[in-house]
Amino acid sequence: MPSLHDIILALLLTVAAGLSTGIGAIVAFFTKATDTRVLSAALGLSAGVMVYVSMIELMPEAFETLGQTFGSRSGQAVALLTFFGGIALIAAIDHFVPEDENPHEMHTMSELSSPTSHHHLRRTAMMLTLAIGIHNFPEGMATFISALDGLDVALPIVVAIAIHNIPEGIAVSVPIYHSSGSRKKAVVYTLLSGLAEPVGALVGMAFLLPFWTPEVNAYCLAAVAGVMVYISFDELLPGAERYGHHHIALGGVIAGMAIMALTLLIM
């Protein structure tokens, strides 16, 4: 069972990752144009961190723990089934969100602020807030569970999720601001969408911690790895490529993997 200190720290890290959507609102309000090279590199870096830590840290730990419970071969099979179960969960959530309001269907700043009726913009803004909140819920559980596994794994994941929340903050804030003219309202709705992450962490804590064992931890790590790999390939990498800077995005992926490798080596 994790200590109270570990639980509080994991919750605080999850809150920090979720509220980074507010950075997206600031970017949208106070910059005339977003440097797409920076966004492309940042999204690529996030993908590199998530894929590397999933394959090199989380899955091997799940293999080891479940291998001790079920035997080496059967334990690997159980871990892999859980991994693909995590992918299936986030894919199902993705499937039931309309494409126009889906945060995994990346939108550019010009698309979000294009001249349309205020009614349509307001509807789009509300749907985006709800959709991103739904997507952030399992991400919050993933952040919380990874944070319980130690700071060496948690901090890079928190930073990666925080970076990928910034474009989501832009996606929510721009249509709300253009439909209402209120920066305050746009910031509030943007932060509300991000608060779904700590809510997801609290739900995960309430349901999982009473039954916490090394095996439950291993199941969670494998499922979290699946969620993060799906997010990387469904959202982050296509988003980075869409800005038109292929080699910058690839450099971000490699840099993310290298940073994660160095972090795990020295901690």
Task: Show the tokens assigned to 7.
Answer: 């639980």
> Cα–Cα distance between 187 and 198 in angstroms, integer?
18
CB 79 within 8 A of CB 66: yes
- Determine the pLDDT at residue 203: 85
Domain extent for 234: 4-266
Q: 1 by DSSP, 3-state: which?
A: coil
List of long-range contacts for 33-36, beta carbons under 8 Å, 24+ apart: 33/109, 34/109, 34/170, 36/243, 36/244, 36/245
What is the pLDDT, as a whole number, of residue 246?
87
3-state secondary structure (DSSP) of residue 116: coil
Query: Helix (H, G, I), strand (E, B), or coil: what is residue 179?
Result: helix
Give the separation between CA 23 and CA 26, rounded to whole angstroms: 5
pLDDT for residue 117? 45
User: Can you give the pLDDT at residue 123?
Assistant: 62
The count of domains in the chain is 1
Amino acid at 131: A
Handedness of CA 77, 83, 86, 91 (dihedral sign): negative
pLDDT block averages, 10 residues each, the chain of length 267: 82 88 77 66 83 90 95 96 94 70 51 49 62 72 80 78 78 72 82 86 84 88 89 84 84 88 73
Distance CA(189)–CA(194), nearest Å, equals: 9
Task: Work out the end-to-end distance of the chain between its first and last CA atoms, rounded to an integer number of angstroms.
Answer: 22
Task: Compute φ and ψ for 245, nearest 5 degrees.
Answer: -125, 75
- On the CB side of 80, how many CA atoms lie within 13 Å of its CA? 6
Q: Is 190 exposed, middle or buried (0-12, 13-18, 19+ CB in 10 A)?
A: buried
